[in-house]
A and B are shown apart, each in its own frame.
Chain A
Amino acid sequence: MRSVLAAFIFVFILVLVSGSALADYQEQPKHCLKQLKNPCAIWTFKKTHLPRAGMQIFASADALFEISENSIYQIRGMLWVVSDKSVTVESRFGSVKSEGNGEIWTQADDQSFVVRSLANTLIVLPRGDTQGTDLGPGFETRLSYINRNLRMADTSWATPINLVVHLREFNSVVPNAEVFKQKAGSYAGVVLVAAQQAAKDLKKIVDRHVANAQTPGGPKYVDPAMGGRDSYLRKLFRQKNNFAE
Chain B
Amino acid sequence: MSLWFAEKEFSREDEFSHKVEKLSREIVQHKMQADLMRAHFEDFRQEVALEIPGNKFLKPDDRLRDLASIIPHSPNLVPMDDAISRKNLKLALALHEEKKYEEATQGFLKVVSEYPESTSSLEASYYLAQSFYLTGNKQEALVWSEKMLKQFPDSLWTAKALLITADIYKEQERKNDVIEIYQMIINTFDSAELKEDVKRRMADMGS
Q: Kindly list chain A residues whose C-beta atoms are within 8 Å of the C-beta of B43.
A: 92
B207 within 8 A of A: no
User: Known pairs A17-B18, A146-B46, A149-B55. 11 more at Cβ < 8 A?
Assistant: A3-B3, A6-B3, A9-B7, A10-B7, A13-B11, A20-B21, A43-B32, A64-B36, A148-B50, A149-B53, A151-B50
Q: Which residues of B contact A43 (CB under 8 A)?
A: 28, 32, 35
Closest to B32 in A: A43
Pair A6/B7 contact, Cβ less than 8 Å: yes
Does any Cβ of B come within 8 Å of A196's Cβ? no
- Determine if A147 is an interface residue (Cβ-Cβ < 8 Å): yes
- Residues in A neighbouring B17, C-beta threshold 8 A: 17
Contact code string B51-80 (vs A, CB < 8 Å = 1, else 0): 011110000000000000000000000000
A64 and B32 in contact (CB under 8 A), knowing A145-B46, A151-B53? yes
Decide if B49 touches A148 in the complex (CB within 8 Å): yes
With A9-B7, A17-B14 as contacts: A26 and B29 at CB distance below 8 Å: yes
Q: How large, as a class, is the contact surface on chain B?
A: 20 to 34
Known: A2-B3, A9-B7, A64-B35. A26 touches B28 (CB 8 A): yes
The A interface, classified by DSSP as helix, strand, loop or mixed, is: mixed
B137 interface hit (Cβ, 8 Å): no
- Given A3-B3, A6-B3, A13-B10, does the pair A41, B32 have CB atoms closer than 8 Å? yes
B residues 8-33 near A (Cβ < 8 Å) are 10-11, 14, 17-18, 21, 28-29, 32-33
Residues of B within 8 A of A9 (CB): 7
**Residue of B42, B47, B52 touching A110 (CB-CB under 8 A):** B42
Asked whether any CB of chain B lies closer than 8 Å to the CB of A175, the reply is no
Rounded to whole angstroms, the CA-CA distance of A127 and B14 in the bound complex is: 52
Interface centre among B11, B21, B35, B49 (most CB of A within 10 A): B49
**A169 to B: closest C-beta gap in Å:** 21
Q: By the criterion of a CB under 8 Å from any partner CB, how many residues of chain A are at the interface?
A: 30
25 residue pairs from A and B, CB less than 8 Å apart = A6-B3, A6-B6, A13-B10, A13-B11, A17-B17, A17-B18, A20-B21, A26-B32, A28-B32, A41-B36, A43-B32, A64-B36, A64-B39, A75-B39, A92-B42, A92-B46, A110-B42, A127-B47, A128-B50, A145-B49, A146-B49, A146-B50, A147-B54, A149-B55, A150-B54
Binding site for B on A (CB under 8 A): 2-3, 6, 9-10, 13, 16-17, 20, 26, 28, 41, 43, 64, 66, 75, 92-93, 110, 127-128, 145-153
Are A28 and B54 neighbours in the complex by a CB distance under 8 Å? no
**Residue in contact with A127 in the complex, picked from B28, B29, B46, CB distance below 8 Å:** B46
CA distance A3 to B39 in the complex (A): 55
CB distance from A105 to the nearest CB of B (A): 20
- How far is the CB of A37 from the nearest CB of chain B, in Å? 15
**CB neighbours of B11 from chain A (8 A):** 13
Q: How far is the CB of A203 from chain B (nearest CB, A)?
A: 35
CB of A10 within 8 A of CB of B10, answer: yes
Contact A92 B39 (CB under 8 A): yes
Which residues of chain B are near A146, meaning CB under 8 Å?
46, 49-50
Q: Give A179 to B135 CA distance when docked, in angstroms.
A: 63
Contact A93 B29 (CB under 8 A): no
B-chain residues with CB within 8 Å of residue A145 when the two chains form the complex = 46, 49
Distance in Å: Cβ of B28 to nearest Cβ of chain A: 6
- A-B residue pairs, 4 tightest by C-beta: A148-B54, A149-B54, A146-B49, A75-B39
* Distance (whole angstroms) from the CB of B71 to the closest CB of chain A: 11
